[in-house]
């Protein structure tokens, strides 16, 4: 079986976990561009971990400016089998209050200014996104939360907006009528690309605000987001540390096939495939292209 390697994509604080060993920041080059930052290679109780600051250390890169293809390709080259995305979100439901953690299982992608696929002209592929989150990985996160007495709501829909501005009130109300639970700017196309790269993916959505729809709360601002994120840091550190300690050392097959998403996805006939694009896909799709 394949050795499990846990990848964490998120913000500051996550790569300062107590107990990390064999830590080393490494630049990982990709044919798609530069990742947001170097990747922190580390271990926790023998479990291999890879931390990637989504916006770069110091939060230098806006959501629209992130090279999501480079980030996911770099994680694949670093050996990652399972990605946990830790993301700040706004709440679109009364019962989801600032400070709550939500393990979403669906996304609505409203972004429009980002490269969303590794594939294209010369090598066409269509992966299923019916189940964008690996339920096995989400269950592991929920179990780690229970062990640490950290409540994590299972299930929910994350509306991914382009940003970098927050929603208008009309947009916020529209997304509520769609039944969305939380709103943020970063998990698409990240989840789509992880699926194409055959990496299991799950999100810990940390609620920081009520967006701008709630009549008893003011419009969201950066100071509010930063304050709640700071309050969440210790809890999410405990959650990730417990997840790593309890995580199986051998990669478990994904119940919805996230780790074999390319088995029947490639449409282009072998003789019509672009050699240059195939070379760029050596990490992402090497398993199927080498057959």
Q: Is 210 annotated as a binding residue?
A: yes
The answer to whether 195 is annotated as binding is no
Q: Is 211 annotated as a binding residue?
A: yes
227 by Cβ neighbours in 10 Å (0-12 / 13-18 / 19+) ranks as: middle
Nearest CA among 164, 244, 232 for reference residue 11: 232
Which residues pair with residue 82 across a beta bridge?
6, 200
Residue 54 labeled ligand binder: yes
Determine the Cα–Cα distance for residues 39 and 58; give it in Å rounded to an integer.
14
Q: Is 258 annotated as a binding residue?
A: no
d(CA 190, CA 76): 13
Phi, psi values for residue 138, rounded to 5°? -60, -40
Q: Is 229 annotated as a binding-site member?
A: no
186 annotated among ligand-binding-site residues: yes
Give the 3-state secondary structure of residue 208: strand
Q: Which residues are identified as catalytic?
A: 209, 211
Query: According to the annotation, is 88 in a ligand binding site?
Result: yes
End-to-end alpha-carbon separation of the chain, Å?
19
Binding residues, as ranges, are: 12, 54-55, 87-88, 185-186, 209-211
């Amino acid at each position: 079986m394949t050795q499990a390697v846990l990848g964490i994509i998120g913000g500051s604080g996550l790569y300062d976990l107590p107990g990390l060993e064999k830590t080393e920041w490494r630049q990982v080059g990709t044919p798609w561009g530069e990742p947001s930052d170097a990747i922190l290679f580390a271990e926790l109780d023998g479990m291999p971990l890879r931390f990637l600051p989504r916006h770069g250390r110091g939060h230098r890169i806006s959501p629209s400016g992130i090279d999501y293809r480079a980030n996911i390709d770099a994680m694949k080259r670093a050996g990652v089998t399972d990605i946990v995305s830790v993301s700040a979100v706004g709440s679109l439901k009364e019962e989801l209050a600032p400070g709550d953690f939500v393990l979403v299982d669906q996304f609505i992608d409203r972004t429009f200014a980002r490269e969303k696929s590794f594939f294209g002209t010369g090598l066409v592929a269509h992966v299923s996104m019916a189940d964008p989150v690996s339920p096995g990985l989400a269950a592991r996160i929920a179990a780690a939360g229970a062990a640490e007495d950290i409540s994590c709501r299972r299930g929910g829909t994350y509306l991914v907006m382009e940003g970098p501005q927050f929603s208008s009130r009309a947009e916020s109300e529209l997304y509520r009528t769609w039944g969305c639970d939380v709103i943020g700017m970063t998990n698409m196309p990240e989840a789509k690309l992880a699926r194409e790269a055959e990496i299991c993916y799950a999100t810990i959505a940390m609620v920081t605000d009520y967006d701008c729809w709630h009549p008893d709360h003011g419009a969201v601002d950066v100071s509010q987001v930063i304050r709640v994120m700071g309050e969440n840091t210790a809890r999410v550190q405990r959650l990730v540390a417990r997840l790593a300690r309890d995580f199986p050392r051998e990669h478990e097959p994904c119940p919805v096939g996230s780790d074999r998403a390319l088995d029947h996805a490639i449409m282009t006939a072998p003789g019509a495939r672009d050699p240059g694009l195939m070379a760029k896909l050596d990490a992402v799709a090497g398993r199927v292209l080498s057959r």
